């Protein structure tokens, strides 16, 4: 066997082993689902499907990088907020929770990216890391990182963030979100934000 090839293979094995040992399990939460379509009343584009698509893409990116992942839902089913929290809390002390959503507003001109956390420096740091990368990658307006007491954030005992990745009620952003390459860009940059904190 070629020595250089052997050393490269050994490096890859050690890299993925170090990720698996040192990194937390990433709990990926696709917002809404089932009878809960998400978004505003009368909204044409259903939030639940786009959230699930980006969540699946994020799952794939992180798994390829050697991370352990858990999805709160992997198909079009309804999962209650308390159940989502319970899934995350199984990994208390060794997990990170990332909830994927898209925004909506009565004002069709509203647009941009915003990211939420409830409390704690670890959650804030993760929110800032993901947010900055998504804003930079999309070129969308920065609606900033905010602290809010959303149930899936305050009910989890792990670092937790909720990502609002654009407005489905805004014509321009909706057109982008309907593009599979754009949704992949969102997933890639959410993953980059996670990986910058949890190497």
- What residue ranges do the domains of the chain occupy? 26-197
CA distance linking residue 31 with residue 129, whole number of Å:
20
CA distance linking residue 134 with residue 124, whole number of Å:
15
The tokens describing 117, both together, are 């956390």
3-state secondary structure of 41: coil
3-state secondary structure of 73: coil
pLDDT at 5 over 80: no
In the 8-state DSSP scheme, what is residue 36?
B
Into which CATH architecture does domain 26-197 fall? 3-Layer(aba) Sandwich (3.40)
Confidence of residue 3 (pLDDT cuts 50, 70, 90): low
141-176 pLDDT, tens per residue? 999 999 999 999 999 999 999 999 999 999 999 999
52-107 pLDDT, tens per residue? 999 999 999 999 999 999 999 999 999 999 999 999 999 999 999 999 999 999 99
Question: According to the model, what pLDDT value does residue 156 have?
Answer: 98
38-57 pLDDT, tens per residue? 999 999 999 999 999 999 99
In the 8-state DSSP scheme, what is residue 30?
E
Confidence of residue 18 (pLDDT cuts 50, 70, 90): very low
pTM of the model: 0.89
Question: According to the model, what pLDDT value does residue 15 have?
Answer: 45
pLDDT at 6 over 90: no
111-122 pLDDT, tens per residue? 999 999 999 999
In the 8-state DSSP scheme, what is residue 32?
-
Q: Which residues contact 62 (CB under 8 A, 6 or more apart)?
A: 26, 28, 69, 191, 194, 195
pLDDT at 199 over 90: no
């Amino acid at each position: 066997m070629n020595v250089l090839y052997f050393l490269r293979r050994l490096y890859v094995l050690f890299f993925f082993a170090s990720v698996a040992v040192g990194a937390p399990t990433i709990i990926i939460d696709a917002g809404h689902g089932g009878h809960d379509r998400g978004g505003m009343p009368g909204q044409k584009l259903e939030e639940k499907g786009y959230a699930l698509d980006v969540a699946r893409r994020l799952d794939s990116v992180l798994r390829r990088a050697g991370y352990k992942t858990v999805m709160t839902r992997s198909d079009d089913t309804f999962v209650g907020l308390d159940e989502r929290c319970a899934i995350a809390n199984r990994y208390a002390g060794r997990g990170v929770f990332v909830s994927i959503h898209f925004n909506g507003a009565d004002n069709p001109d509203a647009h941009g990216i915003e990211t939420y956390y409830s409390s704690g420096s670890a959650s804030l740091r993760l929110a800032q890391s993901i947010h900055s990368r998504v804003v930079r990658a999309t070129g969308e307006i920065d609606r900033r990182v905010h602290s809010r007491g959303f149930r899936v954030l305050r009910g989890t005992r792990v670092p937790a963030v909720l990502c609002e990745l654009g407005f489905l009620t805004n014509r321009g952003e909706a057109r982008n979100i309907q593009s599979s390459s754009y949704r992949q860009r969102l997933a890639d940059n959410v993953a980059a934000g996670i990986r910058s904190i949890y190497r």
